[in-house]
């Protein structure tokens, strides 16, 4: 095994540093998005600061779910009425036309993702229609060399659906599994047999999908170290290319569906830590590479290769290999990252639809990055993607003296070094095996917004 992927478990350090903090899918984080900023100004700044010859990443948010999963914190609409999808898609097509006018040009789409909700809520014919519309407005690849992915609920994906998805250009799928234990599934209202999941995997492999991701969650009702270990054994046997192991954050005051979960049935913080420790050990022993935070991949997966080559990137979809893409997002609550701006659409379907109808776009709030934001974003990205930071690279990119620019952060970095989270040298920062699990906490040292607010507000715990 590659020693660079070893993680050292230090319970004392974890307990001391396991605060709440951002996941850094962006910097500044969404908490800094301002509803008072002019949408016209955000678009103009984005268009002027983007590389108009560079590739694009497209995202579509499909919010519908036929069933409510009690743990879920996504922006979703629970309905059995499949007829609600078409009016929504028609609105997305109107938005798409405006976005294409702003950003498409001759730019090739190297990355595409449909998320939700449950994208497979829409019919096979609607999926074909949606991809056709995307191809009308944007320059989609036809050589299967793009990174075209979709989130799938195995309960909503027949063999025919998987075949259709492959035919219209998808080559990656992500399956929501969460846990294979029936008791846990019942407690979170997501009963899904292992046979259902295996059938989708088999169909996807037969159809020629080149990458399969499985999502699991630890910290759900009735989970124990032993039960989650059994879940992992089942999933490792399925041999997905990637695994995402998310920490369940119980926040029923923020997410109404979580009120259905009895807090007394949740594993204790100590048990959650033990589950995570066992998970990491088991996946490393099974040959997976620890990419960072909650992501694992096989050594020959593109994420692992990008990390080894120093080319891994992070955006609103998590870890990615497409650092050179502007992200153009459409649909309710979708977040775009174009040039030096981020912006988010209206959060409710009615408001989103009305905005598209009246304005042609649905931008609700955003942020235009200052030079300081861009410097700190690069530092945080390097640390969270590669567990190291070369001062000279940042100095050359931005024309600054690193030690001088980050003088105020030095005391905290020294404390991290004293505690064994990082090793500091005149040349840079290396995150230690003990520090890797706490990478979000290390990144927080470079977050200029954290001291100006309650560090826990709006964030989940690091571990």
Name every residue whose Cβ is closer than 8 Å to that of residue 149 and which is 6 or more positions away in sequence.
112, 113, 114, 170, 171, 172, 173, 174, 211, 213
User: Which token pair is 259?
Assistant: 């009120």
pLDDT of residue 1: 35
Residue 337: which of 308, 352, 317, 354 has the closest Cα?
Answer: 317
pLDDT of residue 395: 97
pLDDT of residue 156: 87
- H helices of 104-224, in order, are 124-137, 159-167, 182-187, 194-207
Residues of the chain with pLDDT under 70: 1-5, 451-463
Answer for the pair 97, 137: CB distance below 8 angstroms, yes or no.
yes
**What structural domains does the chain harbor?**
1-28+370-463 (1.10.10.920), 32-330 (3.80.30.20)
Name every residue whose Cβ is closer than 8 Å to that of residue 142 and which is 6 or more positions away in sequence.
169
Answer for the pair 296, 283: CB distance below 8 angstroms, yes or no.
yes
Give dist(CA 369, CA 448) in Å, integer.
13
User: Which token pair is 127?
Assistant: 């999926």
Rg over CA atoms, the chain: 22
Give dist(CA 347, CA 345) in Å, integer.
6
pTM: 0.92
Residue with tokens 């977040």: 335
Residue with tokens 């075209």: 148
pLDDT digits (tens, 9 = 90+) for 224-276: 999 999 999 999 999 999 999 999 989 999 899 999 999 999 999 889 989 99
pLDDT digits (tens, 9 = 90+) for 344-393: 999 999 999 999 999 999 999 999 999 999 999 999 999 999 999 999 99
Residue 67: which of 126, 113, 117 has the closest Cα?
Answer: 117
Give dist(CA 11, CA 437) in Å, integer.
11
pLDDT of residue 4: 44
Q: Is the dihedral of CA 190, 267, 246, 298 positive or negative?
A: negative
């Amino acid at each position: 095994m590659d020693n660079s992927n070893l993680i050292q478990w230090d319970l004392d350090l974890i307990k001391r540093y396991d605060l709440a903090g951002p996941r850094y899918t962006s910097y500044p984080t969404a908490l800094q998005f301002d509803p008072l900023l002019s949408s016209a100004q955000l678009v103009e700044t984005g268009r002027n600061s983007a590389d108009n010859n560079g590739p694009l990443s497209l995202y579509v948010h499909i919010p519908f779910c036929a069933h409510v999963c009690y743990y879920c914190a996504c922006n979703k609409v629970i309905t059995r009425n499949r007829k609600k999808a078409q009016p929504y898609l028609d609105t997305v097509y109107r938005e798409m036309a405006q976005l294409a006018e702003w950003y498409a040009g001759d730019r090739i789409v190297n990355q595409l993702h449909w998320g939700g909700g449950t994208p497979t809520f829409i019919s096979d014919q609607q999926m074909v229609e949606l991809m056709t519309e995307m191809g009308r407005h944007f320059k989609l690849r036809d050589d299967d060399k793009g990174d075209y992915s979709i989130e799938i609920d195995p309960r909503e994906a027949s063999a025919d659906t998987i075949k259709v998805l492959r035919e219209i250009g998808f080559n990656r799928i992500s399956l929501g599994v969460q846990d294979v234990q029936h008791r846990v599934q019942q407690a979170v209202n997501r009963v899904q047999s292992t046979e259902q999941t295996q059938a989708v995997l088999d169909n996807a492999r037969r159809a020629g999908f080149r990458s399969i991701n499985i999502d699991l969650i630890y910290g759900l009702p009735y989970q124990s170290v032993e039960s989650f270990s059994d879940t992992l054994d089942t999933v490792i046997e399925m041999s997905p290319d990637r695994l995402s192991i998310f920490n369940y954050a119980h926040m029923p005051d923020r997410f109404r569906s979580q009120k259905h979960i009895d807090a007394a049935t949740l594993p204790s913080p100590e048990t959650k830590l033990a589950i995570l420790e066992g998970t990491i050990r088991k996946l490393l022993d099974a040959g997976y590479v620890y990419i960072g935070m909650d992501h694992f991949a096989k050594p020959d997966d593109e994420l692992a290769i990008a990390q080894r080559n120093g080319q891994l990137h992070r955006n609103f979809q998590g870890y990615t290999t497409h650092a050179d893409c502007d992200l153009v997002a459409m649909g309710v609550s979708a977040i775009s990252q174009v040039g030096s701006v981020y912006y988010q659409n209206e959060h409710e379907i009615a408001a989103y639809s009305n905005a598209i109808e009246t304005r042609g776009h649905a931008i609700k709030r955003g942020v235009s990055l200052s030079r300081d934001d861009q410097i700190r974003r690069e530092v945080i990205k390097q640390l969270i993607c590669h567990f190291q930071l070369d001062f000279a690279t940042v100095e050359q990119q931005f024309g600054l003296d690193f030690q001088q620019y980050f003088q105020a952060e030095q005391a905290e970095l020294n404390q991290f070094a004293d505690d064994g989270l990082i090793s500091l040298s005149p040349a840079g920062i290396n995150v230690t095996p003990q520090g890797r699990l706490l990478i979000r906490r290390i990144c927080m040292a470079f977050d200029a917004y954290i001291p100006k607010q309650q560090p826990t507000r709006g964030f989940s715990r690091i571990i």
